Amino acid sequence: MKTIDDYNFEGKKALIRVDFNVPLDAEQHVTDTTRIEAAKPTIIKVLEDGGSAVLMSHLGRPKGHRVPEMSLRHICDEVSEIIGVQVKFVEDCIGEKAVSAANNLKSGEILLLENLRYYNEETSGDPGFAEQLAALGDIYVNDAFGTAHRAHASTTIVARFFPGNKCFGYLLAKEIEAIDKVMSSGEKPVTAILGGAKVSSKITIIENILDKVDHLIIGGGMTYTFIKAKGGSIGDSICEDDKLDLALDILRKAEAKGVEIHMPTDVLAADAFSNDANTQVVPVGSIPDGWQGLDAGPATLEQFKKVILSSKTILWNGPVGVFEMETFAKGTIALGNYIHEATTNGAFSLVGGGDSVAAVKQFGFQDKVSYVSTGGGAMLESLEGKTLPGIAAILS
C-alpha cells in the first residue's frame, strides 16, 4: 500500500482529492471543520517536502450546475486558517483558468479548485474530465475516504493517468488500517456494536462480520424486530415485520459460527415519541401496548458494559437509543463511556457510520476512542466487505 510517505514532493505538484464537503450555515460559514482538519497532515507533508498542493473536492450536490451557495470559495478562508497557509482559489476545476493557476503555483503554495460537481462529468466518471484534472498535478494523492466508495472522475478514474505516481494520503491510509484492525488483524475478543433503527440497513454488514467477531451487541430500534421474531411483545416500538424471518436466520447463523449475541433485556419505554413523554423501565419482551422502547435499560447497560470491558477490539456503528432526545440519550452516553474505558485499558475502538459519529461528536467522545471514521457510506460498504473503487484505483 503506497502512502504519501513513499514520495518526496520536492519541486512536485500534488493533486490531492480531499473531502471538503463540509456543512455551511445560511451565511455560508463552515459549521464543522472536522474534514478540513483531517486533511491537514497530508497537505503539510507535501509543503514541508518543498512541493505544492492542488486541492480538489465537491461540496453539496449542485448536479452539474454552478450553484453559488455551493462554491468552494466560501470555505477558502477557513482552509487557510486551519492549514496555516493562505490558500489560492480558482473559479474552475478544469480549463484554461485552472491550468494557468496550477502552472503558476510555487513550492509551499496551495491552490483550491472550484467545486468538482459543477460538472456532471465528475459523478459520471468521465475519462476526458479526469484527464483534464490529471494535467494539474505530478503525483495523485487520494485522501478522501468519504467518497472512496464512488467511482467518480476525481476519486477513481483520474488515478489511471498517474501510473506509478499515485498514493494514499494519511487520512485514507488511517481509515484503511482502522477497518483492517476490526475486520482481520485486531486482537481478540472482537466486539461489534450495531445500533440504529433498521435491520434491513445492516443485513450485509452483519452477515459479513459474523466470521470476524466474537461478540455482537444489537441495540437501538432494530432490537424490536429481533425481539418480536422471538415471540416477545414490543408494544408500539419500531419494527420491520417483513424481516422477522431474517432476524431469526441471523441468530441461527451467529450461533452456528460461535458468535455470542447480546441484546437488550430491559428498555426505557415511553408512551409517546417525545422528550417529555411518560417513561418506565420494562422487560424488552413485555412492552405494553401504546408504549415504545426508546433507550436501553439499566440491566442491559450492565450486560453491555461487561462485554465491552472484556473486549480488545471494538466496532461501534449506531446508537442504542434515540440520543437526539435528552431523555433517551443515557444509554448511548453510557456506551460511549464504556468504550472509552476499554480504550484507556488498551482496546482498539473504531466508531463509524452516520448516527454513531454524530453521537460521538455530540457527547464529546472524539478523543476518547481510537478512531472516528470520516466516511459514512464508505465505512459501511467497507464493513460489508466491498472493495471501494477509490481504494482499488490506488492499489492497481
21 marked as binding residue = yes
Provide the 10 A C-beta neighbour count for residue 261: 14
As a whole number of angstroms, the distance between CA 327 and CA 268 comes to 9
The H or E element spanning position 301 is: helix 298-309
160 marked as binding residue = no
348 marked as binding residue = no
51 marked as binding residue = no
337 marked as binding residue = no
Task: Check 12, 13, 17, 35 and give the catalytic one.
Answer: 35
Q: Does the annotation mark 377 as catalytic? A: yes
As a whole number of angstroms, the distance between CA 396 and CA 156 comes to 11
Q: Does the annotation mark 137 as catalytic? A: no
As a whole number of angstroms, the distance between CA 88 and CA 309 comes to 48
Q: Does the annotation mark 35 as catalytic? A: yes
Q: Does the annotation mark 219 as catalytic? A: no
Neighbouring-strand partners of residue 28: none
Task: Check 198, 253, 305, 361 and give the catalytic one.
Answer: 198
As a whole number of angstroms, the distance between CA 96 and CA 141 comes to 22
DSSP 79-148: HHHHHTSPPEEES-SSSHHHHHHHHTPPTT-EEEE--GGGSHHHHHT-HHHHHHHHTT-SEEEE--GGGT
User: Do 170 and 1 meet the contact criterion of CB atoms below 8 Å apart?
Assistant: no
Task: Check 108, 232, 377, 385 and give the catalytic one.
Answer: 377
As a whole number of angstroms, the distance between CA 92 and CA 71 comes to 10
19 marked as binding residue = yes
As a whole number of angstroms, the distance between CA 173 and CA 390 comes to 12
354 marked as binding residue = yes
Return the ∠ at Cα 344 (arms to 338 and 349), rounded to 5°.
65
Task: Check 64, 108, 232, 354 and give the catalytic one.
Answer: 354
As a whole number of angstroms, the distance between CA 247 and CA 228 comes to 9
274 marked as binding residue = no
Which of 250, 17, 40 is CA-nearest to residue 139? 17
66 marked as binding residue = no
150 marked as binding residue = yes
DSSP state of 259: P
20 marked as binding residue = yes
| Binding residue numbers for (2R)-3-phosphoglycerate | 35, 117, 150
| Binding residue numbers for substrate | 19-21, 35, 58-61, 117, 150
| Binding residue numbers | 19-21, 35, 58-61, 117, 150, 202, 293, 324, 353-356
Enzyme catalytic residues: 35, 198, 354, 377
| Binding residue numbers for ATP | 202, 293, 324, 353-356
